[in-house]
A = this chain, B = another copy of it.
Amino acid sequence: MSAAPFARAETIAVGSELLALGRTDTNSGVIAGRLARLGIDVIARSIVGDHVGHLEIAVRTALQRADVVVMTGGLGPTDDDLTRQAVAAALGREMHEDAVQLERIAERFQRRGLPMPDINRRQAMLIAGAVRLDNPNGTAPGQWIDVGGQAVALLPGPPREMEPMLDRLVEGRLGARGGEDRTYSRGLKVAGRSESSVEATLQPLYAEWRASEPPLDATILAALGRIELHVFVRSRDRVRAEDRLTRAVAAAAEALGAAVYTTTDESLEDVAGRLLREAGWRVAVAESCTGGMLTARMTDVAGSSAWVDGGVVAYSNALKTQLADVPAVLIAEHGAVSQPVALALAAGVRARCGTQVGIGITGIAGPDGGTDAKPVGTVFIALHTPALVACRSAHFVGDRAVVRQQSVSAALDMLRLALTGHDPVGLAR
């Protein structure tokens, strides 16, 4: 005789202040995380201002798509607190004053030696058929309303009032309606390829995954310098789900080849650092256009002192010679942004710092400094290890920040490829 499980949820955060500059609705993310663990997907989240008509539409809309609607905020005592009223209107139900709740609110004020302001009576109003959810941390109780096989939960806005109430629901009413099917996911990350090229490679697998039972779902996320594949499966059998995901990710990794740098959520700098430690090598960097960003990103990794020595930022031409022993004649002959200068930076910083690996980067990040022969986005990245010397000539498209970030990611990826026995330049496209 148990009700059907909830599969889809929607959250509505109420309050005009959440639409204004700089305020963030953190409740919806917390709720989504808790529900995911119960196998309930949040399919949409919204923030709606304090307007009874807009809220009513939001509740009606959510009930068209979702099994359970979790609302936060708008349960206070003021004229702006319209959640109760809007939900009652959306459901076509009356409200009544709850004697138990009124007593609790009055007691709360009494404990502080204050008279209960008349407006707080409003917080004792329950929607017909609602179950009162106690709020030990505030005057606003929550409400749980069963609507046929669906449900609406009204929770207070302040996180320290909302979260304990949510936790009790997760253990109780929500937990009881969680799916037997839970969502599991796994992923991999790719460097040096475009989103569409990754998609094209994976198309045949997608088709296979979608056709399998239960189907695997996949999402591609493109960020600067990396593409992420996330594969999801909904299942009631954890072991089997994880086994299927492992095999799916392995198949995707095989199809994508050396462009895959992790299947365990490592960053590119994590991977490069791990490989350097395994090789027993240390790295030093000479940066021009990236101005320290590569060394900064390497040293973002806790414990990176085990494999990074440091290096130089040779932003001016004089410092390229002064700090990394780039012959001035090389700069005069080929220009500061050239393959010979990138190679000399890598060799110079390696020799100066006494490391096994040296990296040199020189380029034109823009917005100025481009020429017809060397437009903005032209970057030379040189790598010098005990095993090889290589230089990639790249043309990145984008503004100054994009060119610099792409250069840093490309350098880390060259290092990774070299340390795994691949051609550090050949794969780049």
Contact = CB atoms under 8 A, between A and B. Distances in A.
A8 to B, nearest CB: 9
Interface string A354-375: 1000000000001110000000
B305 A310 contact: no
Nearest to A65: B54
Q: Oligomeric state, in number of copies?
A: 2
A246 interface: no
A315 interface: yes
A167 interface: no
Contacts of A352: 322-323
A225 interface: no
B61 A221 contact: no
A103 interface: no
Given A80-B220, A302-B368, A313-B292, A47 B48 contact: no
A22 interface: yes
Contacts of A298: 291
A117 interface: yes
Given A78-B199, A310-B319, A48 B43 contact: yes
B49 A46 contact: no
Interface residues of A, number: 99
A4 interface: no
Contact of A313 (B36, B61, B285, B397): B285
A interface secondary structure, majority: mixed
B20 A219 contact: yes
Nearest to A43: B49
Interface stretch (A91-99, A127-135, A327-335, A399-407): A399-407
Given A36-B20, A199-B78, A315-B309, A54 B43 contact: yes
Interface centre among A47, A119, A200 (most CB of B within 10 A): A47
B312 A219 contact: no
A312 B323 contact: yes
A241 interface: no
Contacts of A119: 196, 199-200
Contacts of A308: 291, 315
A316 interface: yes
Contact of A77 (B45, B53, B57, B199): B199
Contacts of A23: 221
A250 B364 CA distance: 40
A90 B303 CA distance: 53
A234 interface: no
A147 B114 CA distance: 54
Given A296-B290, A323-B312, A219 B16 contact: yes
Contacts of A57: 61, 64-65
A290 B78 CA distance: 33
A256 interface: no
Given A199-B119, A302-B368, A160 B399 contact: yes
Contact of A315 (B32, B50, B299, B402): B299
A96 to B, nearest CB: 22
A232 to B, nearest CB: 8
A137 B323 CA distance: 37
Given A17-B219, A80-B220, 11 more contacts: A17-B221, A19-B43, A43-B51, A44-B49, A44-B54, A77-B196, A158-B222, A160-B399, A291-B300, A291-B310, A293-B296
12 contacts: A17-B219, A20-B36, A23-B221, A119-B200, A291-B304, A291-B308, A292-B293, A292-B295, A292-B311, A302-B368, A309-B318, A312-B313
The 4 closest A-B pairs by CB, nearest first: A291-B299, A292-B292, A46-B46, A292-B295
Interface of A: 16-17, 19-23, 29, 32-33, 36, 41-51, 53-54, 57-58, 61, 64-65, 76-80, 112, 114, 117, 119-120, 137, 158, 160, 194-197, 199-200, 206, 219-222, 230, 284-285, 287-288, 290-296, 298-300, 302-305, 308-316, 318-319, 322-323, 352-354, 366-368, 397-402, 404, 429
